[in-house]
Structure 1
Amino acid sequence: MNIEAQQAIESLRLGIPPEGHVRYFTVGRFKEINTLTTTLQQPSSTALLLKANYGSGKSHLLKFIRETALKEGYAVSSVTLDAKSAVRFNRMDQIFGAICRGLEVPGVKQKGIASFFDWISSQSKKGQVASNWSQITNNNRWNYSRIIKSPSIFIALRAWVSGRANTNLIEDWLHQAGGYKATDLDRELIRKTQISFREELQVNGSLKWSSYTTKASLFNFKRDAYVQSWHVIQDLDTLARASKLRGLIILFDEFEDIVYNISNIEHQKVAFQNLFQFFFGNFFTGMSFFAITPGFVEKCKHRLMTKGCWDYDYSHFDALPTFEMSPLEESHLQELAEKIRQFHGIAYDLDTNTLTVEKSLKRIVVKAASTPLQDRTRYTICEVVKCLDQLLEDDEYS
């Protein structure tokens, strides 16, 4: 029996595309898929709302973009918004922390800032870095940076590269976007690693960092409307490109959380403003994708209007670039069923290319396609796997 195929079937039993095989289980929407693939092959500053009905594959498409982006040589971070679990879009420190936790680089299974920093450090030691690396590190002196905007991310990477710092502390600090005393960070990340570098770290001597006059401000991700949190996100893209990746792509799932789970209207307005920054601002120049359902823009406007925000500039919502996905047709669901059948046969070392299996799956797909369910695709996947499991149990494959 094939363990990898069995793991894929376990995922499909829940209606979830299996990790590592999302591209294989992507059917239909050929025009849309080609458009997205072309976008990923031509790096630019892009932000898109990915619009589809519930069950029409928003999350699946995000996973497809993730797999394709990693294959194309990008760093990727997947973030699921959840205001109830401290991933609020009005709090950019929480967002950048979630981005650090979700970071992935090609060919590495582990996620997080540790894998990202290890990749950069490895590329640096091998000399496989871009021409701007000397500007990032001031010709490997590491006393200041001409390009990196956030002193915190520079200090963290500098400490990581030194090999003298507590990497668990760095990882936890950035994953949680704070939570450590400035004096402890100064001792661990600056004083303890100073011996590895030729010159003293210059914070006030760098024009970009001249406003960080105290240890507290140096490591603060909330001050000045979360400006350093924004800078970290941009710096991650800069560092990805400097280490010969194509940039950073951020994928936001469950984005309607900003409508339903942020109750304070002032906080919600900040969340909307942060959304506009990704689309129209200059804080982040990489690619970002936001999964939404139809009516998202109208829901945002309605929320503001019901709270009496009549002087709000609603035109920003209408200007958001949107990528709309078409629903899967019966023929696409049939193709999906065939792919699941092949994996099921591989998983249990059986021949599924029989008339019994073909007829059974045909009935499942026809019924699913005619059922008025929002979550039709997931329902079809679950029913197909259930049918194949039952045929296996009853020994009716043949």
Structure 2
Amino acid sequence: MSELPQIDKRLAKNIIHIVGSTGTPPEIGCSYFSVGLDSILDAFDKYYFKDLILNGQSTFKLIIANYGYGKTHFLYSIRDLAFDNNYAASYVSLNNNETPFHKLELVYKAIVNNLMDPENKKPENVFNIEKGIEYFLRRWIIKKKEELIQAGLSNDEINKEILNHLNSIKGVENTSFKNAIVNALNALLREDENEFDIIISWIKGEGFFPSVHKKYGILHKIDKSTVFPMIRSLLGIIRQLDYNGLVILFDEGERFSTLGSRAKKEVAHNLRQLVDQCGQSNFKHCLILYANTDENFLTQPDYDYEALKQRLNSYFTEFNPLGTKLNLLHINNSNEELLFQIGLKLANIFEIAEDFTFNETELKTSIKLLVDETMNWQFNEEGLKRFFVKKLIHCLKFIKTYGKYPTEEEIKKIANGEM
């Protein structure tokens, strides 16, 4: 086989388990078997993470891809890249019940409940991924203490240094949000879990109780009218906690067409507001991606849709990273070549996970047979990759278990679920 990727065995095992079980991308490690995305990811890395977002700009991109054709994989790859560049990230799966995009207050809750820091990408954390503002703040305290211990400070000096850092936080738009974050971190420093939980419940949008929250400088409830000030304040806090910015990844889990007409109008209105926010000087250091399965949703006969269509009418490419719309179907190789290369990369990861070595020539033959069989199935491109990667892992397990490479007939049986 070709040179193996530099990947921890625990992460390799996790990738093989998830991909082989459900065909869905693992939360961490997608970049190790991405194919056809290098130039696009490089453009995001160079133009946004290391330049515009780092220097205070914000931007919105619309991502288009069918179900099962890589939109979640792409979003996770962007998140991996964000972690590599010291950005916080929040991946939000949108659905009509828990996180409907037409209800901004629930979208805010989803953002803070899915907030992750770059520590989640470390191999030792791959089976213990922690999401949410509470874990985000706990991790910051732990990380800060470790840094100060390495600098040779005593416990008293460490606490004093962290308090000085918290007291230096300024320029946050929403005073209640700033007070909540500072007091929550202060509670962690004092190991007062009860106080921490009380404050965190407000930050997470779980309710405002004046008799409980006012003593912490929290003066209002979180509702639709306060969502954007809260998000802008979150951006300000993240920067002052030593991260380079925030990446928000919205993944449409249910088709837009299932929404009622009123909800569709609200989605368009909220999207337009979000796009416009990214152009404001007080909305800083943020990259927002919104993944949708059908760009035709912009053709709805409504003012906000027309306004959105005008704002999102240029395509993102490695040559034009300023474009606002990225269709994943337009950037991949032919399906056959794409699947073959994915197969080789997953086989490399399998070798690390299973302490196994394939015969390169025979492996390539098996992958090619599986690609050909996959292309005989009628997917209309929806579910193509998901089907292939699940069957591929099955095929690799077959090779390891039986010590031989499957025949063409056995490949057909694997694809049909007959063995």
Partner of 1:251: 249
Aligned-partner Cα distance in 2 for 1:355–1:316: 50
Give the deviation of 1:273 after TM superposition. Answer: 1.4
Aligned-partner Cα distance in 1 for 2:31–2:109: 28
Judged with a 3 Å threshold, the aligned counterparts in structure 2 of structure 1 residues 230 and 81 are, in CA distance, closer, same or farther, namely same
Partner of 2:316: none
Aligned-partner Cα distance in 2 for 1:331–1:287: 31
Judged with a 3 Å threshold, the aligned counterparts in structure 2 of structure 1 residues 79 and 356 are, in CA distance, closer, same or farther, namely same
Which of 186, 190, 199 is the matching residue for 2:214?
Answer: 186
Give the deviation of 1:314 after TM superposition. Answer: 1.4
Judged with a 3 Å threshold, the aligned counterparts in structure 2 of structure 1 residues 122 and 234 are, in CA distance, closer, same or farther, namely farther
Judged with a 3 Å threshold, the aligned counterparts in structure 2 of structure 1 residues 81 and 29 are, in CA distance, closer, same or farther, namely same
Judged with a 3 Å threshold, the aligned counterparts in structure 2 of structure 1 residues 2 and 23 are, in CA distance, closer, same or farther, namely closer
The aligned runs of 1:136-285 (5 Å cut-off) are 147-163=171-187, 164=192, 166-175=195-204, 177-187=205-215, 189-190=216-217, 218-222=219-223, 226-254=224-252, 257=255, 259-263=256-260, 265-281=261-277, 282=280, 284-285=283-284
Partner of 1:95: 107
The residue type paired with residue 243 of structure 2 is: L
For 1:287-315, what per-residue CA distance to the aligned partner results, in whole angstroms no more than 9, with x for missing partners? Answer: 10011124x3x32433xx4xxx5x66613
Judged with a 3 Å threshold, the aligned counterparts in structure 2 of structure 1 residues 267 and 52 are, in CA distance, closer, same or farther, namely closer
Give the deviation of 1:271 after TM superposition. Answer: 2.2
Report the TM-score when normalising by structure 2: 0.73
Partner of 1:316: 308
Aligned-partner Cα distance in 1 for 2:273–2:228: 10
Give the deviation of 1:20 after TM superposition. Answer: 3.0
The residue type paired with residue 267 of structure 2 is: A
SS of equivalent residue, structure 1 residue 73 = coil
Aligned-partner Cα distance in 2 for 1:273–1:256: 18
2:354 counterpart of 1:348: yes
SS of equivalent residue, structure 2 residue 30 = coil
Give the deviation of 1:339 after TM superposition. Answer: 1.5
Aligned-partner Cα distance in 1 for 2:361–2:167: 70
Give the conservation status (yes or no) of the 8 Å contact 1:138–1:146: no
Give the deviation of 1:394 after TM superposition. Answer: 2.5
2:69 counterpart of 1:72: no
Aligned-partner Cα distance in 2 for 1:140–1:19: 31
Give the deviation of 1:30 after TM superposition. Answer: 3.4
Judged with a 3 Å threshold, the aligned counterparts in structure 2 of structure 1 residues 124 and 390 are, in CA distance, closer, same or farther, namely closer
The residue type paired with residue 40 of structure 1 is: F
Partner of 2:397: 389
Judged with a 3 Å threshold, the aligned counterparts in structure 2 of structure 1 residues 116 and 140 are, in CA distance, closer, same or farther, namely closer
- Structure 1: 5+ residue runs without aligned partners? 128-136, 191-214
The residue type paired with residue 64 of structure 1 is: S
Give the deviation of 1:89 after TM superposition. Answer: 1.4
For 1:146-180, what per-residue CA distance to the aligned partner results, in whole angstroms no more than 9, with x for missing partners? Answer: 622223312211221332562223333333x1334
Judged with a 3 Å threshold, the aligned counterparts in structure 2 of structure 1 residues 369 and 170 are, in CA distance, closer, same or farther, namely farther
Identity of aligned residues (%): 23
Judged with a 3 Å threshold, the aligned counterparts in structure 2 of structure 1 residues 113 and 29 are, in CA distance, closer, same or farther, namely closer
Farther off after superposition, 331-340 or 363-372: 363-372
The residue type paired with residue 58 of structure 1 is: K
Partner of 1:12: 19
- Structure 2: 5+ residue runs without aligned partners? 1-7, 121-128, 149-162, 313-323, 407-419
Give the conservation status (yes or no) of the 8 Å contact 1:54–1:375: yes
Give the conservation status (yes or no) of the 8 Å contact 2:36–2:333: yes
The aligned runs of 1:297-316 (5 Å cut-off) are 298-302=296-300, 305=301, 314-316=306-308
Aligned-partner Cα distance in 2 for 1:139–1:355: 58
2:39 counterpart of 1:31: yes
Aligned-partner Cα distance in 1 for 2:345–2:135: 33
Judged with a 3 Å threshold, the aligned counterparts in structure 2 of structure 1 residues 328 and 15 are, in CA distance, closer, same or farther, namely farther
Aligned-partner Cα distance in 1 for 2:167–2:45: 39
Aligned-partner Cα distance in 1 for 2:136–2:332: 36
For 1:217-236, what per-residue CA distance to the aligned partner results, in whole angstroms no more than 9, with x for missing partners? Answer: x22112xxx23221111111
Give the deviation of 1:140 after TM superposition. Answer: 6.0
Partner of 1:197: none
Give the conservation status (yes or no) of the 8 Å contact 2:208–2:222: no
The residue type paired with residue 112 of structure 2 is: C
The residue type paired with residue 400 of structure 2 is: L
Give the deviation of 1:363 after TM superposition. Answer: 0.3
Give the deviation of 1:323 after TM superposition. Answer: 1.7
The residue type paired with residue 221 of structure 2 is: N
SS of equivalent residue, structure 1 residue 166 = helix
Farther off after superposition, 114-123 or 374-383: 114-123
Give the conservation status (yes or no) of the 8 Å contact 1:102–1:111: yes
Partner of 2:339: 333
Give the deviation of 1:122 after TM superposition. Answer: 6.2
Aligned-partner Cα distance in 1 for 2:198–2:258: 31
Aligned-partner Cα distance in 1 for 2:360–2:39: 32
SS of equivalent residue, structure 2 residue 242 = coil
SS of equivalent residue, structure 2 residue 291 = strand
Partner of 1:376: 384
Give the conservation status (yes or no) of the 8 Å contact 1:100–1:112: yes
Give the conservation status (yes or no) of the 8 Å contact 2:94–2:253: yes
Give the conservation status (yes or no) of the 8 Å contact 2:272–2:304: no
Partner of 2:4: none
Give the conservation status (yes or no) of the 8 Å contact 2:250–2:289: yes
SS of equivalent residue, structure 1 residue 364 = helix
| C-alpha RMSD of matched pairs (Å) | 3.0
Judged with a 3 Å threshold, the aligned counterparts in structure 2 of structure 1 residues 312 and 230 are, in CA distance, closer, same or farther, namely closer
Give the conservation status (yes or no) of the 8 Å contact 1:17–1:60: yes
Judged with a 3 Å threshold, the aligned counterparts in structure 2 of structure 1 residues 255 and 138 are, in CA distance, closer, same or farther, namely farther
Aligned-partner Cα distance in 2 for 1:16–1:167: 35
